[in-house]
Structure 1
């Protein structure tokens, strides 16, 4: 069988192996592409290689620096409050009796509460009794002064008469001596008697003057003591009268701080009264803006029952206390007060701080507060570069740029925290 069938060994020829060219072609194509990219975007590539990090543009907020008006204002929600809302206190310790309820309308001078203070009432009665005693002492001193004054006057008149008698006697003795009807001794005795009468008269006059001044001082001291006691009684009467708590204004009873028939101490809060005739709008302002608010600044109040209602306002006061990073400011109505307003009603408030035209500025963003607004990231050719800046006036929407930026610059206003403080960051599309 092997001799009948021949194999194909004589027909087979060994072929030379074919060279593999596709790796060379692939490498050459890649080299061509890389060369083209390097030649076409060489600057972009160098910037990418020099960047410290890369952040997607979708995670950033970018604004353009422009020249335009800058309006600095403070806007927020306010609530209607009473310009006058006095709180009434107990002027003495005792039992407080309330004569009104919360929400009752009241008139000025109306008795709202009464405090029964037995201690103060008893003290007033005692001091009034002291007034009566001092008044009696004064009357007694005046009577005694009149009596002593009369006695001194009588002594003085007697001394004056004795002096006049001594003068007459001396004159008679002198005439008799000159006529030879009496001796010289009688004239000398008459002269001695006149000298004694003169001395007694001078003493009576001096004593009357001194004693009269002393009596006047005693009476004046009694008068002063009585006046002092009367002032004390008047003050106690005022305190007792103030135990009846009266409304200082026309308005409405606000809040009751104690229950009826409660024992209270002196200066304890009893109730508050709301004067609804003078209303203001109170708003909370961030501490950063509050330092620029001043009484008298113009404002605008809007809201009310009908849409679109607006009223001119004016800042009336700014609280000196900061609470939770905010300050309370109040605005009064510049014109007539709207009649439809109610206590605690919500209104929109806007206060104009400043307005300037042609200001180089950019939209406000997180870069204003981060680092104190000393630097910002400017986007140029797809790379955000950190530059030093100086900011000026700030509003809720825009900030003034004093240096470091120019019109047309694109600034990262939000999302810069993703840069981690890097100086150059690639912005990936």
Structure 2
């Protein structure tokens, strides 16, 4: 009897065909991948190539600082108006109280004058009330004197008539008349005395209120007169006038800056810092600068965190006396220390950072530079601190990548 032989699912021929097809697909995929690698050819003379170093990372930043006075006082007008007269020029040395210019404001002046007249009238009215109160006090005092005199007379007559009546020299009617007169004047005195007491209490309160009102009105009057006087702007302190450029007829609003007075008691430095360092610059940090061949130590006194045009401002003061030769407007290069030195891999700064943001670089080997991801930490005025991705002595293109940042390989020819 014949035996049925099962047909194999994969014959040797099919296996060989599948293996060959798979190998061909892999080779084609690899070739396609190679075709995607864009190659850019560049001359070595047009590139900057830096070698990765290992050494001390100096955590400092260089600043271009301007010399400004240690203290400046703003000059402004409490009242708006137009410039009517100018008495001083920019750059002049002034002492406290020196007239600088006069502001004209007819409306404000008219209001001040009207208010002054009204207040003076109110003060005069209150003074008249005071005089009336004092006059009333004198009248009541005179009335009291009259009543006391009448009471004494009536008292003497009553005393005499009492003795005469006991001796039956006068009649009861005469005695009763004397007695009634005495009691009447006695009652009048008591009533007037109570009225005087109440009047004195009321007068005391009114006089106190009048005094307070007059004092406040005089203060308001003084303020008005001071505001009128302040239309002539005077130097608030002694020093040198700067940022001062008024023109006859120029208008200023209330409290608008007219200029500054630099108090000549020393200098400080003011510098803009890249916003990259905004979380690392703190008050109290040390810095130094060179001037006329000498090195001076400074301290960060103020950090102004508002960022403008990619920078924030810091103020630095000299530790000790500032150099005598300093003048406003001079520029000095300051080295600001952010932290202590530390050992690190170092890569020279370059324009490549603007193209990659520091996330990758072209690493050069055997004439070809390929992309490599890196991690950059801190930076100073010379180097970037390399945290990951590079080794000592490797070469990196650190010039601009603008021409080839879309390429995968850069062939460098000498």
Q: TM-score, normalised by structure 2?
A: 0.68
- 1:303-325 CA-to-partner distances (Å, cap 9, x unmatched) read 4xx5x343222223333321111
Of residues 183, 201, 204, the one that matches 1:216 is 204
Q: Deviations over 1:21-76 (max 9, x none)?
A: xxxxxxxxxxxxxxxxxxxxxxxxx9xx999958789679565473x433211103
Matched length: 372
Q: Displacement of 1:327 after TM fit?
A: 1.6
Alpha-carbon distance, 1:98 to partner: 1.1
Matches within 5 A, 1:273-352: 273-303=261-291, 306=292, 308-352=293-337
Separation of aligned partners in 2, 1:383 and 1:252: 60
Corresponding position: 1:90 with 2:77? yes
C-alpha separation between the residues in 2 aligned to 1:184 and 1:226? 61
Change (3 A) 1:401 1:240: same
* Equivalence for 1:240: 228
Say whether 1:361 aligns with 2:355: no
Distance of aligned partners of 1:103 and 1:167 in 2 relative to their CA distance in 1, 3 Å threshold: closer
Aligned-residue CA RMSD in angstroms? Answer: 4.6
> Residues of 2 paired with 1:352 and 1:301: CA distance?
11
CA distance in 2, matches of 1:118, 1:387: 71
Instruction: Note the residue ranges of structure 1 that are not aligned, 5 or more in a row.
Output: 1-45
Distance (whole Å) between structure 2 residues aligned to residue 312 and residue 170 of structure 1:
103
Note closer, same or farther for the CA distance 1:276–1:208 as it changes in structure 2 (3 Å cut). Answer: closer
Q: Are the counterparts in 2 of residues 51 and 383 from structure 1 also a CA contact under 8 Å?
A: no
Cα pair distance change 1:51/1:309, threshold 3 Å: farther
Say which of 181, 193, 206 aligns to 1:205: 193
Displacement of 1:401 after TM fit?
A: 5.9
- The structure 2 residue matched to 1:73, chosen from 56, 60, 72, is 60
CA contact (8 A) 1:109 1:247 kept: yes
Partners of 1:107 and 1:147 in 2: CA distance: 52
- The answer on whether the counterparts of 1:378 and 1:387 sit within 8 Å (CA) in structure 2 is no
Alignment of 1:113-152 (within 5 A): 113-130=101-118, 132-152=120-140
Partner Cα distance (1:126, 1:290) in 2: 54
From the superposition, tell whether residues 174 and 273 of structure 1 become closer, same or farther in structure 2 (CA, over 3 Å).
Answer: closer
How many angstroms does 1:105 deviate by?
Answer: 3.4
Segments of 5+ residues of structure 2 without an aligned counterpart are 1-29
Q: With the length of structure 1 as denominator, give the TM-score of the two structures.
A: 0.66
What is the deviation of 1:208? 0.9
CA contact (8 A) 2:348 2:383 kept: yes
